[in-house]
Chains A and B, each alone.
Chain A
Amino acid sequence: MTSPPIRSGSRRELLASVAVTSLLASASEAGARGYSGSLPFRTYSADPPRPVLPGAWVFFTQDEAVAVEAIVDRLVPADDLSVGGKEAGCAVFIDRQLAGPYGHSSRLYTQGPFLPGLPTQGYQGEMNPAQRYRAGLAAIDAHLKREKGRGFAALPAVEQDAFLTRLEKGEVTLPPGSGGAQGFFNLVLQNTMEGFFSDPVYGGNRGMASWRMLGFPGTRYDYRDWVSKHNQRYPLPPVSIMGAPEWSAR
């Protein structure tokens, strides 16, 4: 048995001075840091989101963008409740997401071996979302041109809906690795809903269209004045991270 390293009864004296330890700061400026003696605070260390700006497509080709705009406009159709997915910016949202860390699965575990999994084990494909869109959209385009002689965007709305329903049910064959027709449909549906309902700072939900439809007040953060007003509708319009149009109108 090793001898006990702390002698019983003896307590260490407080170390005389341990300011911010230089040891690690010098070892690697980039990340690892040592702190002692105070709460660290570095100015400009906040990391706010960078607003998506309208403009040219970043990830999609022109043809892909046309198809995705048509798809999101059927998933979220324009009606008396809100504008459609295209006008709400869902395709722009997806384009920018696919160009960033999400599209490249850079935060996920992407080491092999890649084996077919059980449903309870989640997505096990090798392709990241960006690759799945590229392959999935191309396969849909080829499929429709073969079957109908034209791409998705050129179909009438009824046929577009019928085709999306077949994708959703897995009745169309897409290349392996992309997650199959159902997997690809679910991915596009998920991303479209993200774009429609997320903060407008990411390029979708233009004018907070979906939040106005639901009555969601967005980023307000303080409801203490309304918590006890049971069964009374909250009266204020939504606000986003970038503010609200009402503010700049004044």
Chain B
Amino acid sequence: MTRILPRKDAVIVGLGWTGSIIANELADEGLDVLALERGPWRDTATDFNIGYAQDELRYAIRKDLFLQPALEAITMRNNPSQTALPMRDYGSFLPGHGVGGAGVHWNGHTWRFWDSEFRINSHLTERYGAAKFAGLDLQDWGVTAAEMEPYYDAFEYLCGISGKAGNIRGQKQPGGNPFEDPRAREYPLPPMQMTYAPTLFAEAARTLNLSPFPTPSANLSGAYVNSLGVAMGQCTMCGFCERFGCANYSKSSAQTCVLPVLMRKRNFELRTECEVLKVELHRSGNMARGVTYVDSSGEEFFQPADIVLLCAYGLQNVRLMMLSGIGKQYDPNTNEGTVGRNYCYQTNCGTQVFLEGKELNPFIAAGSLGQTVDDFNGDAFDHGNVNFVGGAGINCIPTNARPIGYRPVPPGTPRWGSAWKRETARNYRSTLSFGCQGSSYPQRSNYLDLDPTYKDRHGRPLLRMTFEFPDNDIRMSHFMSDRSEEIARALGGRQHTTSRATKAWNSVPYQSTHNTGGAIMGTDPTRSAVNRYLQSWDVNNVFVVGASAFAHNAGKNPTGTVGALAFLAADAIRNRYLKAAGQPLVAA
């Protein structure tokens, strides 16, 4: 039996990065806001305790903080002719779980996408002609970088991002990223103190006339009081950042940036260990009545609400839409449908340079402490003479040297025995690694839908992911491997090795938790699921917030843009939707 609860103005599904930002904004508006979070309450002192937060086995290897596949798995295959099977353990990406979501255990590389990315179809068509990207379903997002700027600014000042501006109101800034679009002001904090490896990388890159700059980081270079008045501490470069909660209040997250303020608001309520099963629609189909959820005792509730915000992480947003009948399922055969399309990922390659006689102290590290080269990212360079579109950021960001996972040895080294041990000890402190984080562009056969066979613990179909690296992206990545080789040669060293992207995306080794698309924003209601305000085209009081809205993925980490989109959606609700509740903000 489902228990019916008193109505709320807004119900937020998931209290991670986007959920906490929007909850706080809507609570400021005076709305009666409820967040439903599937996982447990988590906070710094209790859950990221400085006495044992730095436990590699527990957090990085056994993945204590992550979504456990027993609760919700995803099935995968590389193309529609194969049978998808469940990822019995998450590997290639690791969705978050619990209050704070994946923002608890992210690295904190915090990027802005460029105007040439938001307007990718128009931009590439103007510059090269549409034939240049035939076969890739590249769409404009419906916003420009100038429109996004205040929302990026809001997210960066909420987080206390450490970085160096490259372009303030059109004025180029020495030391920053020369390719970025104009920003209104400097980063809230200066860049972090550089460790040795990124310093060497930057020196080598400069000899090749590239433009390295400090990676914008959500690991704080100094003490900071954020835009909500919350105090944060300096990052100590502990080397237990990605996959771990921060014990120092130095990594931006819902816990460190939003919850101390949000949780005190009397018109905000959080219910943890409550999993939303479905958004319930009115018979008309174009308005939601609320959500059905189940708590950890197994009891089911119906929570009526006037606005429903899906903030459950991109992939779970898409699955909830499918389970609720919001939007039309994408069909790769006809190329029709709005939900599930344009699923993209990230196209990576990496280089290791085995130096001799250097003490890199690789364990002195933070999630985003490093240097980036953007000369070959996106459309920063002329693609007239290359056979692909897109690009990659080249990042030297040594995040850790935790020894279960980090043991670089030259190719050909045995995996065990005396020779293995000798090489492991020899190279541990003197290997320099950097990687290319490449763009991922949509193609027809990469999409999300519901699995016909495998079910979750409630008997509902799992999400099915069909993904392969498009040829264009493989060519792009090979180009980046070649550029990496040039930097490796400039670095010198005893020897170096660079990986080259190959087909068949493998779900086992970790690549990145940058799953994008599936409920994309856009201007065409037949080819996108939400409008430029992240409002569902189909159900007017449902907003879908997260990287699910990305129409493609750039060669950058997503969360700067995800956070900005959360502020954009909140602004749209506060200043547009509440004045015309129940109405579409963009005419279909």
Show the binding face of A for B, using Cβ within 8 Å. Answer: 1-9, 11-15, 17-18, 21, 23-24, 27-28, 30-42, 45-49, 74-77, 79, 81-82, 102, 105-111, 113, 115, 117-124, 161, 164, 168, 189, 192-194, 197-199, 201-202, 210-211, 213-224, 226-234, 241
Contact = CB atoms under 8 A, between A and B. Distances in A.
Contacts of B236: 221-224
Given A12-B267, A124-B85, A111 B454 contact: yes
B501 to A, nearest CB: 14
B270 A107 contact: no
B237 interface: yes
Interface in B26-51: 29-32, 40-41, 43, 45-47, 49-51
A165 to B, nearest CB: 9
A117 B299 contact: no
B364 interface: yes
Contact of A231 (B284, B358, B403, B418): B358
Given A28-B299, A30-B296, A228 B454 contact: no
Contacts of B498: none
Nearest to A194: B404
A107 B296 contact: no
B494 interface: no
A15 B88 contact: no
B199 A221 contact: no
A24 B274 contact: yes
Contacts of A33: 41, 271-273
A37, A109, A110, A218: residue with the most chain B Cβ atoms closer than 10 Å: A109
A201 B119 CA distance: 52
A23, A42, A189: residue with the most chain B Cβ atoms closer than 10 Å: A23
Contact of A224 (B5, B82, B237, B455): B237
Majority secondary structure of chain B interface residues (helix, strand, loop or mixed): loop
Nearest to A122: B508
A227 B195 contact: yes
B582 interface: yes
Interface stretch (B343-351, B423-431, B438-446, B472-480): B423-431
A32 to B, nearest CB: 4
A233 B359 contact: yes
Contacts of A109: 69-70, 73, 86-89, 454
Contacts of A105: 88
Interface stretch (B56-64, B373-381, B384-392, B545-553): B56-64
A198 B580 contact: no
Majority secondary structure of chain A interface residues (helix, strand, loop or mixed): loop
Contacts of B51: 48, 241
Interface of B: 5, 9, 29-32, 40-41, 43, 45-47, 49-58, 61-63, 68-70, 73, 76-78, 82-83, 85-89, 91, 193-196, 199, 234, 236-240, 247-248, 259-260, 263-274, 282, 284, 286-287, 295-297, 299, 306-307, 358-361, 363-364, 401-404, 407, 415-418, 421-422, 424-425, 428-429, 453-455, 504-508, 541, 578-583
Given A121-B87, A123-B89, A210 B403 contact: yes
Given A6-B306, A118-B504, A221-B247, 4 more contacts: A40-B263, A107-B69, A109-B73, A120-B78
A77 B88 contact: no
A113 B149 CA distance: 49
B296 A32 contact: yes
A202 B54 contact: no
Nearest to A106: B70
The 6 closest A-B pairs by CB, nearest first: A31-B296, A4-B582, A28-B297, A32-B295, A109-B73, A109-B69
B425 A213 contact: yes
A151 B418 CA distance: 23
Contact of B270 (A9, A36, A219): A36
Contacts of B296: 28, 30-32
15 contacts: A1-B286, A13-B30, A18-B266, A21-B271, A28-B299, A36-B270, A76-B416, A108-B69, A197-B56, A197-B404, A198-B56, A213-B425, A221-B53, A234-B361, A234-B363
Contacts of B77: 118, 121
A52 B564 CA distance: 45
A97 to B, nearest CB: 9
Contact of B46 (A11, A13, A42): A42
B263 to A, nearest CB: 5
B269 A34 contact: yes
Contacts of B234: 224
Contact of A122 (B57, B89, B273): B89
Given A197-B403, A216-B403, A111 B455 contact: yes
Given A38-B264, A77-B421, A241 B55 contact: yes
Given A15-B32, A17-B266, A217-B363, A40 B41 contact: yes
A15 B267 contact: yes
B43 to A, nearest CB: 7
B422 to A, nearest CB: 7
